Amino acid sequence: MKSRYPLATVAIALAGFASAQAQTYVINDNLDSYSGNTAGYTFGDVANASHTYVSGAGVGGSVGAVVMSDFTPPGVGYGGVAYQYQDGNAVGNTSANPSDYTLSFDALVNKANGGFGVTVQAWTGTGFGGSGPSQSGTTSDIGIATPNVFQHFDLNLGTLSSGLVPTGGTLQIAWQMDEYMYGGPGTGDELVIDNVKLQMVPEPATFALAGLGGLTLLLFRRRIA
């Protein structure tokens, strides 16, 4: 009997499955539902710091997370202020391999070559419960040459230093604006973050296993047809 499931059909089915898997978003947030103060922290030579959600500050006039501070020497010689995005009920982050994840976001700074570092933390339980945090190292600061223009970033978590186990019920992402990238008092240093996405993209081996399972099912159906 001629096969009811030609190879082209198998290929299409497996490609569709892989595509669906590749669209697994752990976080997909344009920040437009937020207002008021954001979660964040400051340290060192920081003055007049604030971190708030501001309508009109984001991409296309949407809501953006705005981090502002003056760094005022003389002091201890270092300082920073950060915005922390928190998801206390994370789902879909089933891989323990950071390289299976891409963090996407839009960022703007108000000073040429100003920049920021990124740190990711994870707790095993929801709402910061359970053990943890496991934590990535902070990236070398990412500089933006053109001020006051949003730039889009896709950052593979595998490029961060080891330590992060991205599974679990709580994720926290911090964008930290550092003194040495800005310097000088009274400059109104600013960082804006918008459109935060964390996507899990399984390793090729995962696709292969999924494909083998799908092919086995199709062949089994063919045999009993």
pLDDT tens track of the chain, all 225 residues? 444 444 444 344 444 444 444 568 999 999 999 999 999 999 999 988 999 999 999 999 999 999 999 988 778 888 999 999 999 999 999 999 999 999 999 999 999 999 999 999 999 999 999 999 999 998 889 999 999 999 999 999 999 988 999 999 999 999 999 998 887 666 789 999 999 999 998 765 444 444 444 444 343 344 445
Beta bridge partners of 213: none
Structural domains of the chain, count: 1
68 is a domain residue = yes
Measured CA to CA, the distance from residue 61 to residue 174 in angstroms comes to: 23
- Is there a contact between 101 and 196 (Cβ–Cβ < 8 Å)? no
pTM of the model: 0.81
175 is a domain residue = yes
| Closest to 93 measured CA to CA, from 164, 27, 162 | 27
91 is a domain residue = yes
- Is there a contact between 147 and 112 (Cβ–Cβ < 8 Å)? yes
Measured CA to CA, the distance from residue 76 to residue 73 in angstroms comes to: 8
Neighbouring C-alpha atoms within 13 Å toward the C-beta of 125: 6
81 is a domain residue = yes
Measured CA to CA, the distance from residue 94 to residue 168 in angstroms comes to: 8
Which domain covers residue 31, as residue numbers?
A: 25-203
124 is a domain residue = yes
Query: Which letter, b or e, does each residue of 16-35 get, where b requires 16 or more Cβ atoms within 10 Å of its Cβ?
Result: eebeeeeebebbebbbeebe
User: CATH number for the domain including 181?
Assistant: 2.60.120.260
15 is a domain residue = no
In this structure, the number of other CB atoms found within 10 A of the CB of residue 215 comes to: 16
Distances (CA, A) of 159 to 101, 128, 154, 156: 10, 25, 11, 6
Beta bridge partners of 175: 83, 118
